């Protein structure tokens, strides 16, 4: 029974991992795929040889494309991890009673990918999901090959080839494999090769170390794309920030270090295992638990991040209903819990004596209430505008500016600049962020698609053809490309198709020189406030009015309202606009005679009445307290949503 349990443990864990990835992380996998690129193209392969480890990246990109079908991509990765675990046991000769040791490097590989979170947007290159796993398999392959080679010269030859050729194709992974193989030969007691004496073993170990040091130096002259000092980290993913890079590389260093450690200590471990079977069993279980707990601990978990990813994928499809549904789901998921938290907070505040103490309690409870990131709000507003619902419903939903759960805040421009700008008709800025993205992180399916869409929108046929031509050479995006090709040559057709027909109305503005200073939201806000053409579309004016309301600037609102009225087909003002009119008219003590529905007049009266009598211990208590009452009005937004930080 124990044997069966032992045999089934690894497949069961693999199956669970696959299920978790498929059913709970599909948006992460899809986005990972969208941020990568693999072309069925000879040049694409040749270019991979421009840096050591490039070929490994090429192979990694090949597999990454399958994440487009999350269950399939997850299956491939889990299969590789399973193979890695199995081969770790064989390559290092891990005793069967201590098999759990093999879970440690595998756990490191899982953590490396699944702890990334927002780091996925700034990783380079974008082949990181599969490449290190393949690299680890190569390490195991080198160790196995050296161990199995019976003769001294055969082992030496394999070590030489794996250091030189291996370095070219896989960078540091081959070096680690070579060094680990050398150590294995040195420490292995029951070596298959009878003719190997200690001198020869030492010789091989020294040779492997020498090759690891010399190969990158000697081969450096063949390359022109990196610094010599970086030779011993080639093949490892990085981020253009040292702190991030160290963090993401910790897992890989741990994995590479384990390889060397296993190679060095395995004979000693084997002896220990033979002697102390009870303790070994305990150690085996403990190691398994540590591996699983480590994965669970470091696995990136953040509802806002996942919601952003899902919304982003829906924006790519112009599926505005889906964008709103995702927002609605995530913002109302814990309403009951929030109500209870509000009660508890109220009770806690009631026993405080000073406003400072009350404020402290409010802060303590802050995390109990849902707060979206700015990007979620931006996606939501965009979707509502596209559906012509924004001026009736945008302020009925939660607002906020929750910081990303991330080592550093990734600017919205990096994450979704091209999407927001493109769908708001700011096509040159979308183009700009596509370029910045490809320069920093390389081309991706997403960037190519947006570049093609950009060129199509501007009727730059040859320019569009360049990117469509690339997408033609992909596995999962060629159909999209084929559908776009006729549109890029025919304005009429293009203007009737999604997403173009929804973008064109927003393009009614004058040219100006501009720089967003990496702040999308501020730029868009300023754009709608200042760039309107003499003749604008109703869509543009609706967006301008919404953005004017977001600024909470009364003068800007009146200006945007008059422009809105000049193009609006419906004479009845939307709900939030009426709320803003009644609010601003009262604040300015001026009645412009704009008709307001009775329901709005009543709600404003209730709002005023409430605040004439309501008492709060401190100002910070108010927003969450009254959200359940007035959170669906513009008045609430005007008074309580202030000082949001965008980036």
Minimum CB distance to other proteins smaller for 32 or for 447: 447
Q: In angstroms, what is the minimal distance from the CB of 112 to other proteins?
A: 18
Is 466 or 629 the residue whose CB approaches other proteins more closely? 466
Question: How is residue 620 written in tokens?
Answer: 């910070």
- Nearest approach, Cβ of 577 to other proteins (angstroms)? 26
Dist. CA 248–CA 133, nearest whole Å:
14
Residue in the block written with tokens 């995390």: 367
Handedness of CA 160, 164, 169, 173 (dihedral sign): positive
Based on CB atoms, which residue is closest to other proteins, 67 or 239?
A: 239
Nearer residue to other proteins within complex by CB, 231 or 294: 231
Q: Is the bond leading into 174 cis (omega within 30 degrees of zero)?
A: no
Is residue 385 within 8 A of residue 392, CB to CB? The reply is: no
Residue (of 74, 144, 124) closest to 235 by Cα position: 124
CA distance 110 to 291: 10
**Least separation in angstroms between CB 55 and other proteins:** 18
User: How many residues are given for the chain?
Assistant: 647
CB of 339: closest distance to other proteins in angstroms?
45
- Please say which residue, 137 or 239, places its beta carbon nearer to other proteins: 239
Closest CB 244 distance from other proteins, rounded Å: 9
Q: Alpha-carbon distance 271 to 163, whole Å?
A: 31
114 vs 95: CA distance, rounded Å: 29
Choose between 113 and 447: whose C-beta lies nearer to other proteins.
Answer: 447
643 Rama class: left (phi>0) / alpha (psi -120 to 50) / beta? left
- Residue 138 CA to residue 146 CA, distance in Å, equals 12
In order, the DSSP letters of 328-351 are HHHHHTTHHHHHHHHHHHHHHHHT
CB of 477 to other proteins, least distance (A): 16
Q: How far is the CB of 646 from other proteins (least distance, A)?
A: 19
304 closest CA partner among 370, 399, 365, 368? 370
Q: Which is nearer to other proteins, 406 or 461 (CB)?
A: 461
What are the phi and psi torsion angles at 14 (to 5°)? -60, -45
Task: Please say which residue, 377 or 412, places its beta carbon nearer to other proteins.
Answer: 412
DSSP labels for 580-637?
Answer: HHHHHHHHTT--------HHHHHHHHHHHHHHHH---SSGGGHHHHHHHHHTTSHHHH
CA nearest neighbour of 55 among 153, 154, 134, 161: 134
Considering beta carbons, is residue 262 or 421 the nearer one to other proteins? 421
Least distance from other proteins to the Cβ atom of residue 47, Å: 10
Rounded to whole angstroms, the Cα distance separating 247 from 118 reads 13
The CB-of-249 to other proteins minimum distance in angstroms stands at 11
Least distance between other proteins and beta carbon 50 (Å):
9
Q: Which is nearer to other proteins, 512 or 598 (CB)?
A: 512
For residues 46, 47, 51 and 55, what is the CA-based torsion angle, rounded to 10 degrees? -60
- Residue numbers of the site for other proteins (CB under 8 A)? 41, 43, 220-221, 224-230, 238-242, 245, 426-429, 431-432, 435-436, 438-440, 443, 458, 460, 462-463, 465-466, 469-470, 507, 509-515, 527, 531
């Amino acid at each position: 029974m124990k044997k069966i349990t032992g045999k089934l443990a690894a497949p069961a864990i693999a199956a669970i991992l696959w299920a978790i990835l498929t059913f709970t992380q599909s948006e992460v996998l899809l986005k990972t795929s969208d941020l990568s690129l693999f072309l069925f193209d000879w040049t694409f392969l040749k270019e991979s040889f421009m840096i050591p480890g490039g070929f490994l990246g090429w192979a990694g990109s090949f597999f990454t494309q399958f994440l487009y079908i999350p269950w399939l991509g997850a299956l491939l990765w889990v299969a590789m991890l399973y193979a890695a675990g199995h081969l770790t046991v064989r390559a290092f000769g891990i005793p069967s009673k201590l098999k759990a040791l093999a879970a440690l490097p595998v756990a490191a590989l899982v953590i490396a990918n699944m702890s990334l979170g927002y780091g996925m947007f700034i990783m380079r290159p974008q082949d990181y999901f599969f490449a290190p796993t393949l690299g680890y398999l190569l390490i195991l392959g080198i160790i196995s090959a050296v161990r199995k080679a019976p003769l001294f010269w055969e082992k030496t030859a394999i070590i030489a080839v794996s250091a030189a050729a291996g370095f070219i194709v896989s960078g540091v992974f081959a070096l680690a494999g070579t060094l680990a193989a050398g150590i294995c030969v040195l420490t292995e007691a029951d070596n298959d090769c009878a003719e190997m004496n200690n001198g020869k073993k030492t010789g091989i170990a020294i040779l492997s170390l020498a090759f690891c040091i010399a190969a990158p130096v000697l081969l450096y002259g063949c390359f022109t794309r990196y610094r010599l000092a970086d030779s011993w980290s080639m093949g490892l993913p990085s981020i253009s920030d040292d702190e991030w890079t160290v963090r993401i590389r910790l897992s890989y260093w741990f994995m590479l270090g384990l390889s060397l450690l296993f190679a060095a200590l395995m004979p000693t471990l084997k002896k220990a295992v033979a002697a102390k079977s009870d303790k070994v069993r305990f150690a085996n279980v403990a190691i398994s638990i540590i591996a699983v707990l480590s994965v669970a601990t470091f696995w990136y978990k953040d509802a806002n991040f996942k919601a952003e990813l899902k919304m982003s994928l829906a924006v790519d499809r112009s599926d505005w209903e889906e964008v709103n549904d995702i927002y609605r789901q995530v913002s109302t998921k814990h309403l009951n819990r929030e109500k209870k938290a509000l009660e508890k907070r109220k009770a806690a505040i009631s026993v405080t004596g000073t406003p400072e103490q009350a404020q402290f309690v409010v802060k303590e409870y802050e995390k109990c209430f849902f707060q979206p990131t700015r990007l979620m709000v931006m996606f939501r507003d965009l979707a509502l505008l596209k559906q012509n619902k924004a001026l009736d419903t945008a302020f009925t939903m939660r607002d906020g500016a929750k910081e990303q759960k991330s080592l550093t805040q990734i600017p919205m421009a990096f994450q979704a600049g091209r999407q927001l700008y493109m769908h708001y008709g700011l096509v040159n800025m979308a183009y700009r962020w596509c370029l910045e993205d490809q320069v920093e992180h390389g081309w991706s399916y997403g960037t190519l698609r947006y570049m093609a869409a950009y060129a199509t929108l501007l009727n730059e046929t040859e320019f569009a053809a360049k990117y469509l031509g690339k997408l033609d050479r992909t596995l999962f995006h060629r159909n999209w490309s084929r559908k776009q090709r006729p549109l890029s040559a025919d304005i009429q057709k293009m203007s009737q198709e999604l997403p173009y027909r929804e973008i064109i109305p927003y393009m009614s503005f004058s040219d100006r020189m501009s720089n967003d200073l990496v702040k999308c939201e501020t730029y868009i806000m300023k754009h709608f406030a200042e760039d309107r053409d003499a003749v604008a579309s109703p869509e543009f004016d609706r967006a301008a009015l919404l953005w004017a309301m977001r600024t909470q600037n009364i003068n800007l609102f009146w200006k945007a309202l008059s422009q809105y009225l000049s193009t609006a087909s419906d004479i009845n003002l939307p709900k939030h606009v009426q709320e803003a009119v009644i609010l601003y008219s009262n604040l300015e003590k001026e009645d412009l005679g704009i008709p307001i529905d009775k329901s709005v007049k009543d709600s404003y009266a209730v709002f005023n009445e409430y605040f004439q009598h309501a008492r709060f211990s401190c100002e910070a208590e108010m927003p969450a307290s009254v959200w359940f009452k007035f959170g669906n009005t513009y008045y609430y937004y005007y008074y309580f949503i202030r000082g949001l930080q965008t980036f």
